[in-house]
Structure 1
């Protein structure tokens, strides 16, 4: 007998929003996703445009509870982002934010920062 697969219940509105966002990636998001997808960064699994609570995050490594956000200028001094990051941190996520121009101009440095954060994080106990 094959074991039962337990899937978390979906939220249709959040799922549709995440799918739409995946189809509208910025150049910076596409560049970083190329290196995060398929366990390309040191074997860590990332997913993109993932609903977490009330928010949809750009990229998350669930095992290490690490969120990577790639932001454009509209996020400068955003109180919404401050509240969002506060909520995510209160739920045991770590958040790394990078500007689009940092990703496009220094991708190797951005990937090294992510790799370092992944190595420093203990695995999530439920995984």
Structure 2
């Protein structure tokens, strides 16, 4: 599904304002090697911008900080995940603290998930 131009503009903004955990993960995921799954960062899909997306695996990786457990955020995330599931996109949420603690292990985990889904 093509994302609205407003979503594309938001994705461009977010690409230049990655959080530290997102930066740590992106530096590792962006490496292009034969046989390695390819990811995009801050990728627009429909009305949403996905932190990281592997199209070959139809896999969305969301790096969630503490704010994702506050207020109405959990319900918003559930609705978003359900919409993406309807588009055959699996959403995996990874705690920002996990990425900060061990970015290499977080990257290997993400790559493993993508390979499991056929990337």
Q: TM range, normalised to the smaller chain?
A: 0.7 to 0.9
Whether 2:32 is the aligned partner of 1:36: answer: no
Q: State the alpha-carbon separation in 1 of the partners of residues 50 and 103 from structure 2.
A: 19
Moved more, 114-123 or 95-104: 114-123
2:82 to 79, 86, 92: 86
Ranges in structure 2 where 5+ consecutive residues have no aligned partner: none
Task: Report the RMSD for the aligned CA atoms in angstroms.
Answer: 2.1
Distance 1:9 1:85, change over 3 A: closer
Task: After TM superposition, list the pairs within 5 Å mapping 1:43-122 onto structure 2.
Answer: 43-76=36-69, 78-122=74-118
Higher relative contact order (CA 8 A, sep 6+): 2
Runs of 4+ residues over 6 Å off in structure 1: none
Moved more, 68-77 or 18-27: 68-77
Q: CA deviation at 1:10?
A: 6.7
Q: CA deviation at 1:103?
A: 0.3
Aligned length: 116
Residue aligned with 1:92, SS: coil
TM-score by length of 2: 0.86
TM-score by length of 1: 0.81
